[in-house]
Amino acid sequence: MDDADRQVLRRCRVQLVSELQVANLWDALLTCELFQPDMIEDIQRAGSGSRRDQARQLVTDLETRGSRALPLFISCLEDTGQHSLASLLRTSSQTARRDPEAIRHLHLKPVAVRPEELRAVKQDPSKPAPGRLPPAVLGPEKLYPQVLRPGVPRPVDIGAGGFSEIRAHERQRGNPDLAYILNADPCGYCLIINNVNFCHKSGLSTRTGSHVDCEKLQRRFRLLHFAVEVESDLTAQRMLRALEELAQRDHGTLDCCVVVILSHGRQASHLQFPGAVYGTDGSAVSVEKIVNLFNGTRCPSLGGKPKLFFIQACGGEKKDQGFEVVSASREDRVPGGNPEPDARPFQEPPGGYDQPDAVSSLPTPSDIFVSYSTFPGFVSWRDTKSGSWYIETLDDVLEQWAPSDDLQSLLLRVANAVSEKGTYKQIPGCFNFLRKKLFFKTS
C-alpha cells in the first residue's frame, strides 16, 4: 500500500472503528481475495472479539494487503451497503491524490446517506440478520474451501513484517514469559514534569510550545490507563523531591510506572545513562540519578515491573546537518515554523564525573527503559506552536499503533518519522533494560 492510501486509512481510522459493520464484510473480503481464511479468523479473534476490536484489527491489517487494498476495500463496503464509509474513504483518497498535504488537515465528518440511496444487500436466509447476533467465528473450510485443497500453496503475507508480525505480537501480548502483563486499572502512575519558565540568571529561555506537549501526553497516557499527574516549573531540588515521592509510593497493586520530563537539557558525564535535565533555577539533575531513584533497591514495590522514562530535552549543543538523501520531507519547510533547541552548553564537573547516587556500586538496571528525544550530545528541536518534534510524533504513533505494536516497535516508528523532519536533523534513541516486550493497555 502506498503512502497516500496508508494516510487515508489512518486519518479515517477512528470513524472506521466506530462504524464499520465487520460481520457483513467477511464473504466480500474473501471473494475479492483481499484476505485469506486464516487471516479472517485471526481478525475475528482480535482482542475480546468485539465488533470494535475486529474493526480495529481489520483496518490495521489492510495496510499489509498490497497496492489495491484500499480500492478493493471501498468496493467491499459498497457491496455490503456501507455507503457512508465508502464515500468517506473515496473522497479522502481523491483529495490525497490531488494534494498529498491536504489529508493531514482533513476534518472528517459522517456522510449522511438517505435510506433510498442504499442498495439492498442480499441476505443468506441461513444467516442471522446483521446486528441481531454476534458474528460467529467460522472455520476456514466454511469460509473459503477452494484454497484449502491439498497441494495448493498458501499466499505469502504482503509488506515488511506484515500480517505475520501482527499475529506474532498478539501471541506474545498475553504470554507472561514473553511480555509484561498490564492488567491493573490504572496500570500505574505517570508523572509529567513540564518546565517552561526559567529564572533569568539561569540563562535558559522560556520553552514556548511545551504546554502543547504536556496536554498531548496527559490525554494519551490517560487513554493508556495511567493515573496522570503533572508538575510544572520545578527547580532541580523540587524535581528530585517529586520523583523521590513517586518512587516511595506503594506500587504493589500496579503494573508499571512512567516518568516524562519536558525541559532544557545538556550533555553530562555518566556511568549508565547519559544526559541531564534542568530545573527552572538553572541547576541540572542527571538522568542517571533520576532513573536510579526507581531501581530495585530504592523502589522495591516496582521490582520486576517496567519503569519507563521519556526525556524531551537536548543532549548537547551539536546541530546535526544530516546527509543528503534522494528526497526530504516537505512538511517541516512550511513558512512560519519556528523550531527552537532545548539546549544548554556542557560543562565538565569538578572531578570529571557526576557523583554516583547513594552507594558506590549500583545493582544492574532491570525493567528500565529510557527514551531520549535526541542522540547524546545533540540538539532536540521544539516548535513554538506545535510542540517538540519528538513528543508530537510519539503521540501520533501511540494513537495509531499502540493497539498492535510493542514499545520498542513503537519507538522505531518514532525514530524513523522524526529523522525525516526539518533542515537540521534529529534522531531519538533509547537505553533498553527491559526483560520482556511491553504492550500498552488500550482497551
Pairing state between β 284-286 and 276-278: antiparallel
User: What is the rounded radius of gyration, in angstroms, for the C-alpha atoms of the chain?
Assistant: 25
The residues that bridge with 228 in the sheet, in sequence order, are: 190
Pairing of strands 381-383, 339-341: antiparallel
Edge-to-edge, what's the strand order for the sheet holding 339-341? 339-341, 381-383, 387-388
Cβ atoms < 10 Å from Cβ of 148: 15
The 10 Å Cβ neighbour count of residue 110 is: 11
| Contact between 413 and 401 (Cβ < 8 Å) | yes
Cα–Cα distance measured from residue 286 to residue 276, given in angstroms and rounded to the nearest whole number: 4
Q: Alpha-carbon distance 397 to 414, whole Å? A: 7
> Among 12, 251, 264, 299, which one carries the catalytic annotation?
264
DSSP labels for 397-419? HHHHHTTT--HHHHHHHHHHHHH
If 0-12 CB within 10 Å is exposed, 13-18 middle and 19+ buried, where does residue 317 land? middle
Could you say which of 12, 256, 314, 430 is catalytic? 314
Q: At what angle do helices 389-401 and 407-419 cross, to 10 degrees?
A: 130
Contact between 54 and 43 under an 8 Å Cβ cutoff? The reply is yes
Question: At residue 262, what are phi and psi to the nearest 5 degrees?
Answer: -115, 105
CA distance linking residue 156 with residue 38, whole number of Å:
12
Catalytic, 264? Answer yes
Residue with cell 530545573: 279
Question: Could you tell me whether strands 265-266 and 284-286 are parallel, antiparallel, or unpaired per DSSP bridges?
Answer: unpaired
From CA 181, how far away is CA 131, in angstroms rounded? 33
Active site residue 314: yes
* Inter-residue contact 436 to 180 (CB < 8 Å): yes
242-245, Cβ contacts within 8 angstroms, sequence gap of 24 or more: 242/191, 242/193, 243/191, 243/193, 243/290, 243/293, 244/293
Helix axis angle for 210-223 and 389-401, nearest 10°, is 20
- The catalytic residue positions are 264, 314
